[in-house]
Amino acid sequence: EAGVTQSPRYAVLQEGQAVSFWCDPISGHDTLYWYQQPRDQGPQLLVYFRDEAVIDNSQLPSDRFSAVRPKGTNSTLKIQSAKQGDTATYLCASSFWESDYTFGSGTRLLVI
Amino acid sequence: QQKVQQSPESLTVSEGAMASLNCTFSDGTSNNFRWYRQHSAKGLEVLVSIFSDGEKEEGRFTAHLNRANLHVSLHIREPQPSDSAVYLCAVSMYSNYQLIWGSGTKLIIKP
């Protein structure tokens, strides 16, 4: 069974540039999560979806970050105007039950 | 709001000696408790998931949960240099399965 797939693996940007991250969850998983993990810290939830609906985006910096999951399958997280403070690994996870929570390998973003 | 703290921040253990990591949380009604391992530039690998008070073993990894003391620990038996990584504790919330994370323990296993 395929796992959670994320792309790209790495991204390097200058401040002010835009970037999009893509996530393909495990087939059948209705819930999809995006986490931000700064260096030497634990992941922090940015947003999560159940099917195509946003359930909680309270931790998403809405002025520059956006996330969509239009058909309830794949998802895209976009940063409009990146800042150095956005440097982190962005992790996608999906689940149907609590027990099958699965992470992708992440996208490492460096903003210079 | 659930808060999760891990200790120590870093730990160096000789190969073959037991390694013990700690995690405290603020809300004992959480759903599930997990230990993950994260090697540099790699994804998160779940090691042990525990729901009930007591002990759960998965190979060389054993988790101990005590909800009354708001504490869960991870013990690694016969650690090897390849076990050197960051170990993260995560607490799952009943309401939405959201994971609340500690900041990690950096474990170094010396040959």
CB-closest option in A42, A104, A106 to B88: A42
Peptide bond preceding B8 in cis form (omega within 30 of 0): yes
For residue B71, report the phi and psi dihedrals to the nearest 5 degrees.
Answer: -145, 135
Question: Distance between CA B13 and CA B108 in Å, rounded?
Answer: 6
Among A23, A98, A108, A109, most B C-beta atoms within 10 A, so best to mutate, is A98
Question: Distance between CA A8 and CA A3 in Å, rounded?
Answer: 15
Which tens digit of pLDDT belongs to each residue from B13-32? 999 999 999 999 998 777 78
* E-state strands within A38-106: 44-50, 53-56, 65-68, 75-79, 88-95, 102-103
Mean pLDDT to the nearest integer, A68-80: 95
Contact between chains at B102 and A104 (C-beta distance less than 8 A):
no
Which tens digit of pLDDT belongs to each residue from A1-23? 679 999 999 999 999 999 999 99
- Report CA B107 to chain centroid distance, whole Å: 11
Contact between chains at A42 and B101 (C-beta distance less than 8 A):
yes
* Residue ranges for chain B with pLDDT beneath 50: none
* pLDDT score of B43: 79
Among B6, B99, B105, most A C-beta atoms within 10 A, so best to mutate, is B99
Which tens digit of pLDDT belongs to each residue from A92-109? 999 987 677 889 999 999
Tokens representing residue A54 in the block: 């946003």
Question: Distance between CA B109 and CA B1 in Å, rounded?
Answer: 34
Residue A10 CB neighbours (<10 A): 12
